[in-house]
Amino acid sequence: MEGAGSVTGDSSRAARLQQARSYLHHADPVLARLIDDQPDFDPRAWMAQLPPMDLYGALLFQVVGQQLSVAATRRILARIQALFGGHLPSPAELLAEDPGKLREAGLSWRKISTLRDLAGRLEDGRLNSDVLSSLPDDELMAQLTAIPGIGPWTVQGALIIALQREDVVLPGDLALRKAVQLAYQLDHVPSQQEVLAIAEKWRPYRSLATSYLFSAAFEPAEAPPVTSRET
């Protein structure tokens, strides 16, 4: 019966993906070309290269990636995993670790402070992962960006990775802005507001549209959301 449930779930996901593709194909001729060019595109295939992540893990991943290249982010992530026996730490595990060890793994003191602050709030009940995961995108954004060192890009990435939200775009991501410039043949790197204006026609499937743009412009290993310039 487990297998049957899995097949049903896979079928449902495939149907939703096809619906989203069809919507975007009709909504935006630029995306229609990208979709036609990649008929077998899997927007979450790049996730197979990453460790399993719950909400805290995805936020940790995003914080690590702030202002870093994909390659540098993954090197530091691998060191953090090694420090915790091959997995990403839970909030309690991170709080129990010597911050100096995290610094040796490649994290800045600012990022360590952010991750410990977030972990502390999750451990003492000021924040609750299950409650956060049930919130609408904008409310979740408001809760988490109140923490110093966590900005919109960090939360947007976690919305895609951990919560698989369908209508997320990362206008502050320099790599996405360059991908938009390339796909739409602009003579400049678009501003965040320009990206948001273009993305209006993608609603309610902005996450999938974003994935197509990254895939068209970069190697699959550099899919979102690990190319941030968020400070």
Question: Residue 2, Cβ neighbours under 10 Å: how many?
Answer: 6
CA-based angle 77:140:20, to the nearest 5?
85
Rounded Cα gap, residues 158 and 105, in angstroms: 22
Note the pLDDT tens digit of each residue in 88-136.
Answer: 999 999 999 999 999 999 999 999 999 999 999 999 999 999 999 999 9
Whether 1 shows a pLDDT value over 60: the answer reads: no
**Residues 209, 210, 212, 217: is their CA dihedral positive or negative?**
positive
What pLDDT sits at residue 10? 72
Whether 224 shows a pLDDT value over 60: the answer reads: no
Rounded Cα gap, residues 114 and 134, in angstroms: 23
Whether 167 shows a pLDDT value over 50: the answer reads: yes
The answer to whether the CB of 66 falls within 8 A of the CB of 224 is no
Contacting residues for 135 by C-beta, under 8 A, at least 6 apart? 143
Indicate the SS3 state at residue 53: coil
Average pLDDT, the chain: 89
Mean pLDDT of the 18-26 span: 96
Number of Cα atoms under 13 Å in the Cβ half of residue 212: 27
The answer to whether the CB of 132 falls within 8 A of the CB of 107 is no
Which has more confidence, 144 or 173? 144
